[in-house]
């Protein structure tokens, strides 16, 4: 009797949940081939770090600056990440800015309650640590590749193709760790005529998958336009001296300044990175401005609209100057290498996808990510839980305890 061949799993997305899925599958004993396909240059997704080859000291968390664990049991992957030194507790002071310019030190918002952690020397270390836990054997990461088309062969295998229609991989199972290929927003962002997963599975009679797709299609997102600044020399001194590292804005302050949060990230060489996260309302009004460095702009080879981008940068910079003037004094954001990073789908809004729809065995499709309902929804905690849940479900889907089927079938 031939031994059963381990089945291949293709995971689209190497953000926290995609990397966590790879790590948890390995921890649970899955040894089959697993690939990760990521359009970004590296792992991390919305919890990634901007780095530069020309400036090795630069590390700016331009998405999530931290993660918080609010409920027990904590994700099982947390402990090995801590033990491996990939993440560390974050005990810095947090402040809340009120609309009347009153600063309330020590008052967290929903992203600051519970136990707080951050990636050691950058949030991307969280995903790097997860990839480390996944191990080298059998895990193949492909970066800088946008999976554009999905196809199902008559034998029920998944084919992943790029924008030119070139085959990237054929796999037994498909996992979407981001919503892009299953959500109508891809039609708006990329001008695609159809939602790729919907198109590939329209002919199937898989009611569970159809239910999952309509539920995902109904998810809405909050957006963020983030201004990245790096202050050097004298200009960095007042930032580094502030008695807090994170400022949240209450509803009135968001309305007044168009900002939601400011993350202050001192660099080891004396500089200070500052990331001003816009309010959802501000980002929604400027959704057409991507930021020249964004992956979407690169993928679509969009012309850089310098005028529009300058406007958004100036507007966010002015808001920052005004709201923190009492604590920072005068500052000129234009001297701090301003850059814009737009997150069109920064935070999914409830309701998300119910856990019962995250594995569709008939079509061999799985979903994980912070858009799955449950503890930590719309946060890293939820991305980790969703991956652990899917890993267990994937393994249970095959009687052998690992996703396997007889070779040659």
Residues that bind ligand FAD (CB under 6 A): 12-18, 37-40, 45-47, 63-68, 111, 146-147, 177-178, 180-181, 224, 226, 277, 343, 346, 369-370, 378-381, 383
The tokens of 394 are what? 């994937």
Would you say 6 or 265 has its CB closer to ligand FAD? 265
Work out how close the CB of 205 gets to ligand FAD at its nearest, in angstroms, rounded to a whole number: 25
Closest by CA to 347, choosing from 373, 370, 381, is 370
Q: Omega before 222 cis (within 30°)?
A: no
Would you say 50 or 379 has its CB closer to ligand FAD? 379
Work out how close the CB of 317 gets to ligand FAD at its nearest, in angstroms, rounded to a whole number: 17
Closest by CA to 368, choosing from 15, 56, 106, 1, is 15
Would you say 176 or 402 has its CB closer to ligand FAD? 176
98-108 burial by CB neighbour count: b if 16+ within 10 A, else e? eeeeebeeeeb
| Residue matched to tokens 């940068």 | 313
Would you say 346 or 390 has its CB closer to ligand FAD? 346
Would you say 35 or 68 has its CB closer to ligand FAD? 68
Would you say 6 or 15 has its CB closer to ligand FAD? 15
Q: Is 219 left (phi over 0), alpha (psi -120 to 50) or beta?
A: beta
Work out how close the CB of 270 gets to ligand FAD at its nearest, in angstroms, rounded to a whole number: 25
| Residue matched to tokens 């604590």 | 327
| Residue 365 phi, psi dihedral angles, 5° rounding | -125, 135
Alpha helices, H only, 202-334: 207-217, 237-241, 251-257, 280-285, 295-300, 306-328
How buried is 250 (Cβ within 10 angstroms: 0-12 exposed, 13-18 middle, 19+ buried)? middle
Work out how close the CB of 95 gets to ligand FAD at its nearest, in angstroms, rounded to a whole number: 15
**285 with 255: CB under 8 angstroms?**
no
Work out how close the CB of 177 gets to ligand FAD at its nearest, in angstroms, rounded to a whole number: 5
Work out how close the CB of 237 gets to ligand FAD at its nearest, in angstroms, rounded to a whole number: 26
Work out how close the CB of 184 gets to ligand FAD at its nearest, in angstroms, rounded to a whole number: 14
Would you say 8 or 177 has its CB closer to ligand FAD? 177
User: In 10 A of CB 284, how many CB atoms?
Assistant: 14
Work out how close the CB of 109 gets to ligand FAD at its nearest, in angstroms, rounded to a whole number: 9
**23 with 133: CB under 8 angstroms?**
yes
| Residue matched to tokens 């309330």 | 104
Residue 299 per-residue DSSP state = H
Closest by CA to 289, choosing from 320, 262, 263, 316, is 316
How buried is 389 (Cβ within 10 angstroms: 0-12 exposed, 13-18 middle, 19+ buried)? buried
Angle 61-65-71 (CA atoms, 0-180°, nearest 5)? 150
Residue 140 per-residue DSSP state = E
Would you say 264 or 402 has its CB closer to ligand FAD? 264
Would you say 372 or 404 has its CB closer to ligand FAD? 372
Would you say 278 or 363 has its CB closer to ligand FAD? 278
Work out how close the CB of 408 gets to ligand FAD at its nearest, in angstroms, rounded to a whole number: 30
Work out how close the CB of 371 gets to ligand FAD at its nearest, in angstroms, rounded to a whole number: 7
Closest by CA to 284, choosing from 260, 320, 251, 318, is 260
**133 with 27: CB under 8 angstroms?**
yes
């Amino acid at each position: 009797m031939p031994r059963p061949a381990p089945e291949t799993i293709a995971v689209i997305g190497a953000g926290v949940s995609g990397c966590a899925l790879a790590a948890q599958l390995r921890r649970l004993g899955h040894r089959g081939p697993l690939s990760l396909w990521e359009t970004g240059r590296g792992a991390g997704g919305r919890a990634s770090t901007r780095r530069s080859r020309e400036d090795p000291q630069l590390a700016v968390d331009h998405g999530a600056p931290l993660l918080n664990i609010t409920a027990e049991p904590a994700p099982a992957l947390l402990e090995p990440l801590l033990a491996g030194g990939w993440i560390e507790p974050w005990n810095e002071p947090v402040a809340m800015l009120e609309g009347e310019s009153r600063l309330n030190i020590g008052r967290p918002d929903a992203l600051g309650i519970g136990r707080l952690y951050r990636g050691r020397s950058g949030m991307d270390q969280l995903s790097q640590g997860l990839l480390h836990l996944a191990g080298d054997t059998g895990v193949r990461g492909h970066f800088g590749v946008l999976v554009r088309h999905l196809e199902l062969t008559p034998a029920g295998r998944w084919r992943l193709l790029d924008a030119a229609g070139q085959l990237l991989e054929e796999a037994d199972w498909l996992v979407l760790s981001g919503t892009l290929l299953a959500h109508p927003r891809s039609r708006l962002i990329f001008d695609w005529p159809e939602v790729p997963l919907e198109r590939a599975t329209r002919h199937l009679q898989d009611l569970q998958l159809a239910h999952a797709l309509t539920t995902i299609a109904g998810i809405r997102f909050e957006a963020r336009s983030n201004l990245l600044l790096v202050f050097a020399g004298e200009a960095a001194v007042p930032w580094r001296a502030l008695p807090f590292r994170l400022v949240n804005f209450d509803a009135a302050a968001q309305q007044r300044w168009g900002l939601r949060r400011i993350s202050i990230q001192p660099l080891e060489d004396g500089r200070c990175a500052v990331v001003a996260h816009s309010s959802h309302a501000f980002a929604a009004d400027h959704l057409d401005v991507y930021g020249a460095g964004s992956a979407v702009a690169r993928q679509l080879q969009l012309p850089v609209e310098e005028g529009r981008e300058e406007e958004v940068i100036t507007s966010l910079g002015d808001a920052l100057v005004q709201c923190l003037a009492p604590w920072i004094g005068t500052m000129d954001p234009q001297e701090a290498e301003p850059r814009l990073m737009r997150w069109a789908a920064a935070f999914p809004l409830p309701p998300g996808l119910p856990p019962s729809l995250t594995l569709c065995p008939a079509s061999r499709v799985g979903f994980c990510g912070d858009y799955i309902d449950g503890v930590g929804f719309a946060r890293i905690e939820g991305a980790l839980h969703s991956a652990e849940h899917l890993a267990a479900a994937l393994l249970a889907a095959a009687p052998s305890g690992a996703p396997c089927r007889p070779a040659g079938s």
